[in-house]
């Protein structure tokens, strides 16, 4: 986990891990549990439309809720009304006011509907929710979401589930530099190097699901993601050297034999 001196701070709470993990698409529950344990993550996203909220053997709430902070999401919602209703259901059933807000505007690309996302964020914040909206990699949208009270912004790296990595690193870096709230890279992570890059660009955290769940060995990939996030964060704090178009020797020429 990240050092206790460098916690992730979200909505007034601190978390040692800067890796958030999804719970969908795993081969079985044991693989899910093994991967979550290996990841070191403290926050796990769950889709309300998939969950059984009435308890029972298959309930994700019972399976995970005692060990991880559950972050319900509004996956599949396409309107403000549906997203708000789903958030209210999650709060009632799970006892949490935290919500990962997703409002999809296009079923092919799964890109967010910015207009409805902004409206839903404002509504949910007014109703006392801690809102973490999934959004596109647009600086203006992220700034507007923060202005409307979002606790963090979650721009996509590339389309959901694509494994395409970060398609526009300069946009993510710009958002991370300008945002007044934490930036959590969401969607498109394919492997550990993508997660490390997100952190090097200045993101406060990374959320990944498919890259772990669909890997050949999910627990091993979860371990790789954990290490990548930690390494990327350390590299960001350390500060990389400038990129140059010419070579520069790392050792001085003074004292060379024959000089």
| Rounded distance between C-alpha atoms, residue 167 and residue 153, angstroms | 17
Asked, for residue 258, whether it belongs to a domain, the answer is no
**Tokens representing 50?**
């998939």
Looking only at the bridges linking them, the beta strands covering 43-47 and 69-73 are parallel
Helix ranges (H only) for 148-184 are 169-178
Does some domain include residue 246? Answer: no
Residue 21 has a pLDDT of: 97
Neighbours of 20 (CB within 10 A): 28
pLDDT in tens, 189-241: 999 999 999 999 999 999 999 999 999 999 999 999 999 999 999 999 999 99
Q: What is the CATH number of the domain that holds 234?
A: 3.20.20.70
Owning domain of residue 105? 13-238
- Give me the number of domains the chain comprises: 1
**Cα distance between residue 176 and residue 198, in whole Å:** 10
pLDDT at 49 over 70: no
Confidence class for position 186, pLDDT limits 50, 70, 90: very high
Mean pLDDT for the chain?
91
Residue 200: per-residue pLDDT: 98
For 95, half-sphere exposure in the C-beta direction (CA atoms, 13 angstrom radius) is 5
Using alpha carbons, select from 34, 97, 92, 99 the residue that is nearest to residue 63: 34
What 3-state DSSP class applies to 58? coil
Note whether residue 99 is domain-resident: yes
The full DSSP string for 62-112 is HHHTTTSEEEEE-TT--SHHHHHHHHHHHHHHH---EEEE--BS-TTT--B
What is the DSSP code (8-state) at residue 245? Answer: S
Does residue 161 belong to any structural domain of this protein?
Answer: yes
Active site residue 100: yes
Residue 28 pLDDT > 80? yes
179, 153 contact by CB (below 8 A)? yes
How many Å apart are CA 256 and CA 33, to the nearest integer? 57
- Inter-residue contact 100 to 45 (CB < 8 Å): yes
Cβ-contact 40, 8 below 8 angstroms: no
1, pLDDT greater than 50? no
256 lies in a domain? Answer: no
- Give residue 73's pLDDT band: very low, low, confident or very high (50, 70, 90): very high
Question: What is the structure's pLDDT at 2?
Answer: 45
In a domain, 251, yes or no: no
Q: Which residues contact 117 (CB under 8 A, 6 or more apart)?
A: 101, 103, 133, 135, 141, 145
Alpha-carbon distance 152 to 142, whole Å?
9
Question: Residue range 25-46: average pLDDT?
Answer: 96
Structure tokens at 209: 């699901």
Q: Give the active site residue among 100, 144, 214, 243.
A: 100
Q: What is the pLDDT of residues 136-160, one digit of tens each?
A: 999 999 999 999 999 999 999 999 9
For residue 97, being part of any structural domain is answered with: yes
Average pLDDT over residues 14-40: 96
* Residue 57, pLDDT score: 43
> Could you tell me which residues come within 8 angstroms of residue 243 by beta carbon, excluding any fewer than 6 positions away?
none
Q: Is 202 left (phi over 0), alpha (psi -120 to 50) or beta?
A: left
């Amino acid at each position: 986990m990240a050092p206790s001196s460098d916690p992730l701070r979200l909505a007034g709470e601190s978390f040692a891990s800067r890796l958030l993990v999804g719970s969908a698409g795993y081969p079985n529950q044991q693989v899910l549990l093994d991967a979550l344990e290996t990841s070191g993550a403290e926050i796990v996203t769950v889709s309300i439309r998939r969950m059984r909220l009435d308890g029972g053997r298959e309930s994700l709430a019972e399976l995970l809720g005692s060990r991880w902070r559950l972050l319900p999401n509004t996956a599949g919602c396409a309107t403000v009304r549906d997203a708000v209703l789903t958030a209210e259901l999650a709060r009632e059933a799970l006892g949490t006011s935290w919500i990962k807000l997703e409002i999809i505007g296009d079923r092919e690309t799964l890109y967010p509907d910015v207009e409805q996302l902004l409206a839903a964020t404002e509504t949910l914040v007014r109703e006392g929710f801690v809102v973490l909206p999934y959004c596109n990699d647009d600086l203006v949208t992220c700034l507007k979401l923060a202005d409307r009270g979002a606790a963090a912004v979650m721009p996509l790296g590339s389309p959901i589930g694509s494994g395409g990595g970060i398609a526009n690193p300069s946009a993510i870096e710009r958002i991370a530099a300008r945002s007044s709230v934490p930036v959590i890279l969401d969607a498109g992570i394919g492997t550990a190097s993508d997660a490390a890059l997100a952190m090097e660009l200045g993101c406060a955290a990374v959320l990944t699901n498919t890259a772990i769940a669909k890997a050949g060995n999910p627990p091993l990939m979860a371990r790789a993601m954990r290490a990548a996030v930690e390494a990327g964060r350390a590299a960001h704090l350390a500060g990389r050297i400038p990129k140059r178009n010419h070579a520069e020797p790392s050792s001085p020429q003074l004292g060379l034999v024959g000089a």
